Chains A and B, each alone.
Chain A
Amino acid sequence: MDATSKRMETDRVIAPGQTYGSLDDLITKPVLTPLLKTPLGWFLGFGLSAALLMLFMVTVYVLITTGMGIFGNNQPVAWAFPIINLVWWIGIGHAGTMISAILLLVRQDWRTSINRFAEAMTLFAVACAGLFPILHLGRPWVFYWLMPYPNTMDLWPQFRSPLAWDVFAITAYASVSALFWFIGLLPDLATLRDRAQHPVARLIYGALSLGWRGSAKHWQRYTRAYLLLAALAAPLVVSVHTTISFDFAVTQVPGWNNTIMPPYFVAGALFAGFAMVLILAIPLRKMFGFEGLITLKHLDNSAKVMLATGLFVAYGYLIELFIGWYSGTEFERFMVLNRLFGDYTWAFWALIAFNVLAIQPLWFKSVRRTPWALFVIAIFVSIGMWLERFVIISVSLTRDFMPSAWHNYQPTTWDFALFLGSIGLFLTLWFLFLRFLPAVASSEVKELVHHEATHHHAKENKA
């Protein structure tokens, strides 16, 4: 196939006319390019991300040497930016697992060329998410007190608290995601080992590939293990955001104590996560010429998932307000009024604009197939989902039961620095991933090509 057709847009899950070899070249090219021939865009993106990562590290240094007082947290708003960021990041991670695990189980072939980078996104988002509760501890250096271990104080974590559940949910999620990702990478690392020219690269990829040789017996166990991991990761991802929502739903704070929280949080997580998938995929396919792999079909389907989960989230907003009124409880009713017209009214209406109104154009196919429009909508959704957590977490805390305990919340510069810095951490890892590992699972895409070919062949034979 020639260079022009490679860059052509297509509605299929993979551009026609691909051979195993051409896919191999396309996918391994960005990784095997000599370091100095890396596209300039990569250096710019990596440089900017690394600068933000420096901001993160400076903030962490100041936080550890000075203490939690550098943040705007107060009483009663003890949960502010760090917890909002935790929920925001971990939600973003969920789309990666949804794509790689749930869509595998339901045999959606469009998952194949986007699962690898979506899983990477999951890992990096969970890394960012996991840091926030630790940095929020006050004494982050004793974070290991969260885990059960034999200690001289003879103490155990309080297992009846959702906060202890969270520790287990997030650690299990992070480790299983990392394992799933690495197992998925194994055959591609072997490809890089066989393709790399530089001896050091060959050595590193060779060691990482563990000596993978694609034997039929290996593939048999591998596909079974991969399927089992997907089947285990699917309920795990649902349980993680459910547990996060328990942090709120199990308390009595007006606006938190809602039974709709678990499904509403999971839908919100997928909503934000698919937005991030689009934010990452749209520049990625342009930068590496992956238009034939990450096709309009993928963008279209991701946009549909975003629309569906977005509508679910909108339903959640409505029900939260309705239940506030319907509960008949003075405090819940006041929470509704405060959310709609209180001191932070701008945040609520902005989130409605970003999360409910901004996604309405996605009903139209032409919008779902216009990358730049999707990119803009996805950015809106990311901001909206962050505001949603701000409204639920912090705005609810500013007005609890006793007016004498009310207090507004004002974030400090350090709050913003740590948040922006975490975006730097995420993007730094992302750019390193793009440069050193294949962003698309080449063995899975080859299998997809084979299936597509036999499928079409069978159709032709029938006709």
Chain B
Amino acid sequence: MSGSALYGLVAEFSSPEDILTAAGQAREAGYTKMDAYTPFPVTDLDEALGMQPTRLGWAVLFMGTVGALLGFFMQWYANVIAWPLLNIGGRPLNDWPSFIVITFEVSVLFAAFTAGLLMLARNGLPQPYHPIFNAPNFAGVSRDKFLLCIEATDGRFDLQKTKAFLLALKPNRVDEVAL
């Protein structure tokens, strides 16, 4: 492995509890550039790794509001500005109760697609290649393995010392991952 660029060191664990403890200890040791790879979301793992909470909800709220405004505006524009001619049962042109359903549907449509697509975009997906795929046991992540990766770009990263630190966490194995 020496000679080729290094992405980081990966320690493999077998349970959510083990990786949670390991992540907490790595954070206490001062590592910041690290990530964990797990088969399912592990509660509190993001906090243990020192990650900021996601602000996705605010974006969804904002875009939902934009959707509602656009949806209402479209109907208002069509009935009041573009075609102010239709007298339906003597109702006013700006017949807002009739516009509620479409306003709601457009709002949900905008909010839902913001939630889904922004999640993918912020996660950098689709991303066909990522160095972690080079980990020899990466296929286990989607099955039953929990990987903790300390990246080589971390200020405290030192191949020997970091490896010794990870081995002290009692993982199944520790591997070097090429960039």
The residues of A with any CB-CB pair to B shorter than 8 Å are 19-21, 24, 148, 154-160, 162, 164-165, 168-169, 172, 175-176, 179-180, 182-183, 187, 190-191, 193-195, 206-207, 210-225, 228-229, 232-233, 235-236, 239, 243, 246, 443-444, 446-447, 450
CB pair B142–A191 under 8 Å, yes or no, is: yes
Q: Does B78 contact A (CB under 8 A)?
A: yes
Given contacts A160-B95, A194-B142, A222-B119, contact A20 B45 (CB under 8 A): no
Q: How large, as a class, is the contact surface on chain B?
A: 35 or more
Q: Does B161 contact A (CB under 8 A)?
A: no
CA distance A443 to B142 in the complex (A): 8
Q: Among B16, B118, B132, point to the contact of A213 (Cβ < 8 A).
A: B132
Q: Of the 9-residue stretches B3-11, B48-56, B152-160, B170-178, which lies at the interface with chain A?
A: B48-56
CB pair A175–B109 under 8 Å, yes or no, is: yes
Q: In the complex, which residues of chain B have a beta carbon less than 8 angstroms from the beta carbon of A194?
A: 138-139, 141-143
Q: Does B125 contact A (CB under 8 A)?
A: yes
CA distance A221 to B46 in the complex (A): 10
Q: Does B120 contact A (CB under 8 A)?
A: yes
CB pair B78–A159 under 8 Å, yes or no, is: yes
Q: In the complex, which residues of chain A have a beta carbon less than 8 angstroms from the beta carbon of B164?
A: none
**Beta-carbon contacts of B53-82 to A below 8 Å, as 1s and 0s?**
110110010001000000000110011001
20 contacts between A and B (CB under 8 A): A154-B82, A157-B78, A160-B86, A160-B88, A168-B106, A169-B101, A176-B108, A176-B113, A207-B128, A211-B129, A213-B130, A216-B51, A217-B35, A220-B41, A220-B51, A228-B111, A229-B116, A235-B104, A236-B105, A239-B104
The residues of B with any CB-CB pair to A shorter than 8 Å are 16, 23, 35-42, 45-46, 49, 51, 53-54, 56-57, 60, 64, 74-75, 78-79, 82-83, 86, 88, 91, 95, 98-99, 101-102, 104-106, 108-109, 111-113, 115-116, 118-120, 122-123, 125-130, 132-133, 138-139, 141-144
Interface of A is mostly: helix
With CB as the reference atom, state the residue of chain A lying closest to B126.
A210
Q: Among B79, B120, B132, point to the contact of A160 (Cβ < 8 A).
A: B79
CB pair A176–B86 under 8 Å, yes or no, is: no
CB pair B142–A214 under 8 Å, yes or no, is: yes
CA distance A215 to B102 in the complex (A): 38
Nearest CB of chain A from residue B17's CB, rounded to whole Å = 8
CB pair A168–B123 under 8 Å, yes or no, is: no
Q: In the complex, which residues of chain B have a beta carbon less than 8 angstroms from the beta carbon of A450?
A: 16, 40
CB pair B116–A183 under 8 Å, yes or no, is: yes
With CB as the reference atom, state the residue of chain A lying closest to B132.
A213
CB pair B108–A235 under 8 Å, yes or no, is: yes
Nearest CB of chain A from residue B24's CB, rounded to whole Å = 12
Given contacts A20-B144, A159-B78, A447-B41, 13 further A-B contacts (CB under 8 A): A169-B101, A179-B112, A179-B113, A183-B116, A191-B39, A191-B142, A191-B143, A194-B139, A195-B139, A210-B120, A214-B141, A215-B35, A215-B123
CB pair B86–A443 under 8 Å, yes or no, is: no
With CB as the reference atom, state the residue of chain A lying closest to B140.
A194
CA distance A36 to B10 in the complex (A): 39
CB pair B35–A168 under 8 Å, yes or no, is: no
Q: Among B40, B75, B95, point to the contact of A446 (Cβ < 8 A).
A: B40
Nearest CB of chain A from residue B81's CB, rounded to whole Å = 10
Q: In the complex, which residues of chain B have a beta carbon less than 8 angstroms from the beta carbon of A156?
A: 78-79, 82-83
CB pair B95–A232 under 8 Å, yes or no, is: no
